[in-house]
C-alpha cells in the first residue's frame, strides 16, 4: 500500500485529535494510500518533539513553515488558534499542498474570502467533524428521501459551559484579533454547518450577540473579553423554512450540547451531540401510537458506523468522528466522493456568521447578499 505524507501543526486538543485520526484511518476505512505521520510542528518545539515520539510522527519541529516546505508532507493539518489559520493555509496552498484546517476558517470575513479564493487550486477540508456522525448521515438521507415532507423549521442549540465560571482565565479565545468572534465562531459555526447541510441555503438573518462576562482573570490581573459569550438568531432559508439558533459558551451544565431539530410537514427529527449515536424521530400520524418520538440507535446500516463496528448500539465517540473526517478526506483525494465542507462551503458559513454580527450591530434583518 502506498503512503501519503501528513504534517500536523498544533499539539493541543485538536492537534492530538488530528494525529490520532490519521493514525487510525487506514485501519478503519478502505484507503488507497496509508497516512504516513511525517512531521508534527508546534511553537513549543520541545513539546512538538515529545508528542511526535508519543503519537508516531517521524519528527517534531518548532517551525511550521519548515513543515509546509517538507517534501514528504502532502497534507497539511492546521490545528492552531484561529488567527493562524489564514497565514498557514495560504502558505500551504501556495506550496501546492492539500489543506485540512480547523474551524472557524479565519478571524474575519475578508480572511475567509482570501482562503476560499486561493483554495481553488488545491483540495481543502474544514474540521466540521460533527457532520460525520451516523445520525446526521441518516437525517440527511431521510430529508433527501422526502420522509419529513417539506421542511418548515430548523431549531439549533449549541451550549457549553467551558467559560461559564467568571474565574475561567482569559485566553486567546476572548481576543478579537486571535479568535475573531467568540461563541459564534467557536460553537455557532458548527450549528450553521448543520443548518446549510441539512436544510439548505440561508437567505437572511436577524439576531443579537452578547458578552455576559466582561472581564476575565489574567496573571497580571484581568483583561476585557472582546467577543461574544452567547448568540440568539433567527434564520430565513431560501426554501422558505425558518430557523432559530441559540449558542452559548457560558451555559452551566452543558458540555457539548450541539442539538438540532428539523420539522417537516410529515415529521420531526431531533439530535443531540451529547448522545451522538441516537436520532429521535416522530412520523406524522404515528404520534398517537408511539406517544411521540421514537429513538433510532445507530448501527452498521448508518455510515460510517459499520466501518468501526459490526454491532449496533456499541456507540461511536468524538474521536471516531475525527477518524471518519480524515477517512472522508483521504477517500476524496483518491477520487471517491466530493470533499465536503471545503473552503468554499466554509466561506458560506463565515458569511452567515458575519451577517448575524452585522444584524446585531445594526439591529435589523441582514440579507446574505450584503455580506
Ligand atoms: N472541530 C472541533 O470539534 C474543534 C474542537 C476544538 C477546537 N477546534 C478548533 O481547533 C483549533 C485549535 O484549538 P485547540 O482547542 O486545539 O487549541 P489549543 O490551545 O489546545 O492548541 C493550540 C495549539 O497550537 C499551538 N500553536 C500556537 N501558535 C503556534 C504557532 N505559531 N506555530 C505552531 N503551533 C502553534 C499551541 O502551542 C497549541 O499546541 C481552533 O481553531 C479551534 O476553533 C475545533
Residue 161 pLDDT greater than 90, yes or no: yes
What does the DSSP assignment read for 340-356? -S-HHHHHHHHHHHHHH
Q: What is the pLDDT of residues 334-343, one digit of tens each?
A: 999 999 999 9
Whether 137 and 245 share a structural domain: yes
Q: Which of 7, 8, 9, 14 to mutate to test the pocket of ligand 1 (most atoms within 8 A of CB)?
A: 14
Residue 171 pLDDT greater than 70, yes or no: yes
Whether 300 and 183 share a structural domain: yes
Whether 201 and 282 share a structural domain: yes
Residue 288 pLDDT greater than 70, yes or no: no
Cα 103 to ligand 1 centre (Å): 10
Q: Quote the pLDDT of residue 127.
A: 98
Instruction: Provide the 8-state DSSP code for 187.
Output: I
Question: Distance between CA 225 and CA 214 in Å, rounded?
Answer: 5
Residue 61 belongs to what domain range? 2-129
The answer to whether residue 279 is domain-embedded is: yes
Residues 6+ apart with CB under 8 A from 78: 9, 10, 84, 85, 88, 89, 92, 99, 100, 101, 102
Cα 17 to ligand 1 centre (Å): 10
Mean pLDDT of all residues in 273-301: 90
Question: Distance between CA 271 and CA 276 in Å, rounded?
Answer: 7
Whether 191 and 124 share a structural domain: no
pLDDT band at residue 287 under the 50/70/90 scheme? low
Cα 15 to ligand 1 centre (Å): 7
Q: Ligand 1: residues within 6 Å at CB?
A: 9-15, 41-44, 64, 79-82, 84, 102-103, 127, 129, 186
Question: Distance between CA 197 and CA 131 in Å, rounded?
Answer: 8
Percent of the chain at pLDDT above 90? 97
Question: Distance between CA 276 and CA 136 in Å, rounded?
Answer: 9
Whether 124 and 171 share a structural domain: no
The answer to whether residue 323 is domain-embedded is: no
Whether 226 and 86 share a structural domain: no
The answer to whether residue 240 is domain-embedded is: yes
Whether 78 and 150 share a structural domain: no
Q: List the residue whose alpha carbon is closest to atom 4 of ligand 1.
A: 14
Cell 489559520 -> residue: 85
Whether 56 and 191 share a structural domain: no
Whether 51 and 75 share a structural domain: yes
Q: Residue 180, by phi and psi: left (phi above 0), alpha (psi -120 to 50) or beta?
A: left
Residue 30 pLDDT greater than 90, yes or no: yes
Question: Domain end: 129, 161, 178, which one?
Answer: 129
Residue 290 pLDDT greater than 80, yes or no: no
Count of the separate structural domains present in the chain? 2
Q: What is the pLDDT of residues 312-356, one digit of tens each?
A: 999 999 999 999 999 999 999 999 999 999 999 999 999 999 999
Q: From 128, 120, 226, select the one nearest 179 (Cα to Cα).
A: 226
Q: List the residue whose alpha carbon is closest to atom 20 of ligand 1.
A: 12
Whether 27 and 137 share a structural domain: no
Whether residue 165 contacts residue 254, with contact meaning beta carbons closer than 8 Å, is answered with no
Whether residue 355 contacts residue 234, with contact meaning beta carbons closer than 8 Å, is answered with no
120 C-beta neighbours (distance < 10 Å), count: 11
The answer to whether residue 334 is domain-embedded is: no
Least trusted range by pLDDT, from 186-195, 244-253, 286-295? 286-295
Whether residue 18 contacts residue 322, with contact meaning beta carbons closer than 8 Å, is answered with yes
The answer to whether residue 370 is domain-embedded is: no
pLDDT band at residue 196 under the 50/70/90 scheme? very high
CATH of the domain at 20: 3.40.50.720
Q: Quote the pLDDT of residue 1.
A: 85
Residue 266 pLDDT greater than 90, yes or no: yes
Whether 154 and 116 share a structural domain: no
Q: Quote the pLDDT of residue 263.
A: 98
Question: Distance between CA 173 and CA 37 in Å, rounded?
Answer: 29
The answer to whether residue 336 is domain-embedded is: no
pLDDT band at residue 285 under the 50/70/90 scheme? confident
Mean pLDDT of all residues in 303-310: 98
Q: Quote the pLDDT of residue 205.
A: 98
pLDDT band at residue 291 under the 50/70/90 scheme? confident
Q: Is 40 exposed, middle or buried (0-12, 13-18, 19+ CB in 10 A)?
A: buried
The answer to whether residue 327 is domain-embedded is: no
The answer to whether residue 326 is domain-embedded is: no
Question: Domain end: 129, 156, 174, which one?
Answer: 129
Whether 212 and 298 share a structural domain: yes
Question: Domain end: 129, 162, 179, which one?
Answer: 129
Q: What is the pLDDT of residues 132-148, one digit of tens each?
A: 999 999 999 999 999 99
Amino acid at each position: 500500500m502506498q503512503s501519503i505524507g501528513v504534517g500536523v501543526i498544533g499539539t493541543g486538543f485538536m492537534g492530538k485529535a488530528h494525529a490520532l485520526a490519521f493514525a487510525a484511518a487506514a485501519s478503519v476505512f478502505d484507503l488507497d494510500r496509508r497516512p504516513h505521520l511525517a512531521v508534527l510542528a508546534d511553537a513549543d518545539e520541545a513539546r512538538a518533539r515529545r508528542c511526535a515520539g508519543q503519537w508516531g510522527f517521524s519528527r517534531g519541529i518548532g517551525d511550521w513553515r519548515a513543515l509546509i516546505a517538507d517534501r514528504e508532507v502532502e497534507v497539511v493539518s492546521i490545528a492552531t488558534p484561529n488567527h493562524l489559520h489564514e497565514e498557514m493555509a495560504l502558505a500551504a496552498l501556495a506550496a501546492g499542498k492539500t489543506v485540512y484546517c480547523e474551524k472557524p476558517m479565519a478571524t474575519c470575513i475578508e480572511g475567509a474570502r482570501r482562503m476560499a479564493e486561493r483554495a481553488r487550486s488545491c483540495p481543502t477540508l474544514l474540521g466540521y467533524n460533527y457532520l460525520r456522525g451516523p445520525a446526521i448521515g441518516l437525517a440527511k438521507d431521510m430529508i433527501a428521501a422526502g420522509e419529513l415532507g417539506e421542511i418548515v423549521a430548523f431549531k439549533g442549540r449549541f451550549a457549553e459551559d467551558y467559560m461559564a465560571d467568571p474565574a475561567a482565565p482569559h485566553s486567546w479565545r476572548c481576543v478579537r484579533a486571535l479568535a475573531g468572534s467568540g461563541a459564534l465562531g467557536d460553537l455557532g459555526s458548527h450549528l450553521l454547518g448543520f443548518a446549510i447541510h441539512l436544510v439548505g441555503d440561508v437567505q437572511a438573518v436577524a439576531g443579537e450577540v452578547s458578552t455576559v462576562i466582561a472581564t476575565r482573570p489574567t496573571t497580571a490581573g484581568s483583561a476585557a473579553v472582546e467577543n461574544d459569550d452567547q448568540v440568539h438568531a433567527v434564520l430565513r432559508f431560501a426554501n422558505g423554512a425558518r430557523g432559530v439558533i441559540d449558542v452559548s459558551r457560558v451555559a452551566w451544565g452543558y458540555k457539548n450540547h450541539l442539538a438540532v431539530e428539523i420539522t417537516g410537514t410529515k415529521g420531526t427529527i431531533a439530535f443531540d451531540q451529547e448522545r451522538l449515536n441516537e436520532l429521535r424521530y416522530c412520523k406524522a400520524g404515528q404520534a398517537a401510537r408511539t406517544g411521540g418520538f421514537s429513538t433510532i440507535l445507530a448501527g452498521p446500516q448508518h455510515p460510517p458506523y459499520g466501518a468501526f463496528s459490526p454491532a449496533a448500539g456499541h456507540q461511536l465517540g468524538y474521536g471516531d468522528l475525527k477518524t471518519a473526517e480524515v477517512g472522508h478526506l483521504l477517500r476524496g483525494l483518491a477520487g471517491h466522493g466530493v470533499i465536503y465542507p471545503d473552503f468554499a462551503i466554509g466561506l458560506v458559513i463565515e458569511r452567515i456568521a458575519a451577517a448575524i454580527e452585522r444584524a446585531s450591530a445594526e439591529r435589523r434583518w441582514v440579507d446574505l447578499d450584503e455580506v
